[in-house]
Amino acid sequence: MAQFQQNAVPAPVLQLTGIRKSFNLGQPNENEILHGIDLTLQPGEFCAVIGPSGSGKSTLLNTIGLLDRPTAGSLRIHGIETTSMNDTELTDLRGHQIGFVFQHHHLLSAFSALENVVMPMFGDAGFVTVAMQERATALLDTVGLLPWLHAQASHLSGGQQQRVAVARALVMQPSLILADEPTGNLDSKSADSVFELLRRVCQEHRTAVLFVTHNPLLSARCDRTIQVVDGQVIV
């Protein structure tokens, strides 16, 4: 009788096969933005995404982030096919498996760093627990912000705010982080600091990262680079 392998190779964090995305489907002005994209991302892989404005990068990230549904193709996260899921299932999967870091931090400025990091966990329980606060505190310590734990977000520097955003993206222990120009609004020193933080997280937690950037110096430091041109991926 055949023996099952004890240490099976884990499924890719992300697997896109023939992904297409059209807007105004079925209308005279139908416009296909993504044209049959294939892409695989393994645990712990740090991948840069580059390409000119209007090439489809944002549409690709929104599709991978389960914010937009693909028109055709297969999108698997940890081997789970997502294209047949309903909105509730997609929201749950997105909330637990995908972290987002954007060019603008999107923090709630009137709340503290700690409160901003706790918020993604709040939805599961409906209230804040000591364990949630402890986890958020540990993450803020990891990103070097323990002294600013209770500082109002609006009182932090741009680089500090992005570090809070990284901690918030990690708090649900996602397997995938989508970072869309997270260093675009930062000076070179702060940008390098945020980049190195994401790299370290990727290596230590085996979190896969898609890092969209226009900075060739940063993309050159990633494990690999994919280029999006006219809605197609060039590896």
Query: Whole-angstrom Cα distance, residue 27 to residue 11?
Result: 38
Q: What predicted TM-score, i.e. pTM, was given to this entire model? A: 0.87
Q: Give the C-alpha separation, 14 to 188, whole Å.
A: 30
- Please tell me the number of Cα atoms within 13 Å of 167 on its side-chain side: 31
Helix axes 130-142, 113-125, angle to 10 degrees: 140
| pLDDT for the residue 178 | 95
Yes or no: say if 20 and 71 are a contact pair by the CB < 8 Å rule.
yes
pLDDT of amino acid 179: 93
Q: What is the CB-side half-sphere exposure of residue 133 using CA atoms within 13 A?
A: 7
CATH class name, domain 42-69+96-234: alpha beta
How many Cα atoms occupy the beta-carbon half-sphere of 77 within 13 Å?
23
Query: 226 CB contacts (<8 Å, ≥6 apart)?
Result: 39, 47, 48, 49, 50, 233, 234, 235
Token pair 């896969």 is at which residue?
208
pLDDT score at 3? 46
One-letter amino acid at 46 equals F
Task: Locate the domains of the chain by residue range.
Answer: 42-69+96-234
CB 163 within 8 A of CB 141: no
Residue-level pLDDT at 9: 62
- Pairing of β 31-41 and β 46-50: unpaired
Name residues whose C-beta falls within 8 Å of residue 11's C-beta, 6 or more positions apart in sequence.
76, 78, 79
Q: How far is CA 108 from the centre of its chain?
A: 19
pLDDT of residue 124: 66
Task: Write down the H helix ranges in the chain.
Answer: 57-64, 87-97, 113-125, 130-142, 158-170, 188-205, 216-219
Query: What pLDDT tens digit does each residue of the chain (235 aa) get?
Result: 444 444 556 789 999 999 999 999 888 988 999 999 999 999 999 999 999 988 999 999 999 999 999 999 999 998 999 999 999 999 999 999 999 998 787 899 999 999 999 998 876 667 788 999 999 999 999 888 999 999 999 999 998 999 999 999 989 989 999 999 888 888 888 888 888 888 988 888 889 999 999 899 999 999 999 999 999 998 7
Contact assessment for residue 156 and residue 113, using Cβ atoms and an 8 Å cutoff: yes
β-strand pairing of 208-212 with 176-180: parallel
